[in-house]
Amino acid sequence: MKNVINLILLIIILVTALLSLAVSSSVSRRISRPLTSLKEHIRSLADRKFISNVNIVADNEIQELAENVNRMSEKLEAYDQAQKIFLQNASHEFRTPLMVIQSYAEGLKYGVVEENHTATDIIIDESKRLCSLVEDLLYLSRLDTDEEMYVFKSVNFSDAVKDVTERMKILANKENIKISLQLPQNKVFLIGDEEKLSRALTNIISNCLRYAKSKIDIKVDISNLLTDQLVLTISDDGPGFDPEDLKNLFTRFYKGKKGKFGLGLTITKTI
């Protein structure tokens, strides 16, 4: 009798072990199969091969991981494409002034261009354009990598806007454009970096100057004090944005019809 019971127990143990092995093997495959697919997908990302999103049917945690990897893939692909466009546009912006400088310098050397102020002025202007471009690139690079220090302090925002407006009026007068400024009666203070705020405002107003027909309106509004926010509105009577321009408003080196380097608004957005 005892031997029979031991035999039955042994059979039960063996059956249980086989069932456990089968179940664990099935669960292991269910877990490893999607993880293997994810591993291959991530390996492709490392090689900058942005394949289509991986569709994985799995448990909640692994499904969530797959969705996060897919989102990461989309962002990396967009960033990679943006970097390529940025390098292409940057190369074009550098090449144009360099070719102008080279052409005029060779013209002066070989006597093709007469030695007059026009040629030297063009070389100087293009050199300044290059310097400005390089400075903007370096500044934007520092902003992107957080190497540019922000000095936060209490800033009289009304005075900051007024100072920028007064400086820009000199350029506006040359273009026969009138800048109007509307400030609240009470002074407006905020915590921020005054130099960077000034640069951001200057970039926006400079952009307005290229498109405005006759006027630029600047208004600081704090009418809704419950939101603890202020609204700065800068508008002009120009033609407005084309849909294509609006879509690429902050794209580096993208130039509208009267655009220049295409870094001003990008710097403003980053600030």
Task: Return the domain boundaries, the chain.
Answer: 2-72, 77-144, 153-240
Rounded Cα distance between 257 and 247, Å, is 14
pLDDT above 90 for 86: no
DSSP run (H or E) holding 234 = strand 231-236
- 179 φ/ψ angles, rounded to the nearest 5 degrees: -110, 120
How does pLDDT run across 12-66, given as a tens digit for each residue?
777 777 777 766 766 666 666 667 777 777 777 777 776 666 666 666 667 777 7
10 Å CB burial of residue 208 (0-12, 13-18, 19+) is buried
% of the chain with per-residue pLDDT over 90: 20
Structure confidence at residue 200 (pLDDT): 92
153-240 CATH fold: Heat Shock Protein 90 (3.30.565)
Rounded Cα distance between 208 and 251, Å, is 17
Structure confidence at residue 91 (pLDDT): 77
How does pLDDT run across 224-236, given as a tens digit for each residue?
656 677 889 999 9
10 Å CB burial of residue 257 (0-12, 13-18, 19+) is exposed
How many CB atoms lie under 10 A from the CB of residue 41?
22
Structure confidence at residue 192 (pLDDT): 92
Angle at 121 between CA 109 and CA 104, to 5 degrees: 30
pLDDT above 60 for 261: no
pLDDT above 60 for 70: yes
Structure confidence at residue 157 (pLDDT): 92
How does pLDDT run across 144-195, given as a tens digit for each residue?
777 778 889 999 999 999 999 999 998 898 889 999 999 988 888 889 999 9
Structurally, at CATH architecture level, domain 77-144 sits in Orthogonal Bundle (1.10)
pLDDT band at 113 (very low <50, low <70, confident <90, very high): confident
75-84, 94-103, 173-182, 197-206: lowest mean pLDDT where? 75-84
> Which letter does DSSP use for residue 115 in this model?
S
Greater model confidence, 260 or 124:
124
Structure confidence at residue 45 (pLDDT): 72
Structure confidence at residue 225 (pLDDT): 58
Contact predicate 208/236, CB 8 Å: yes
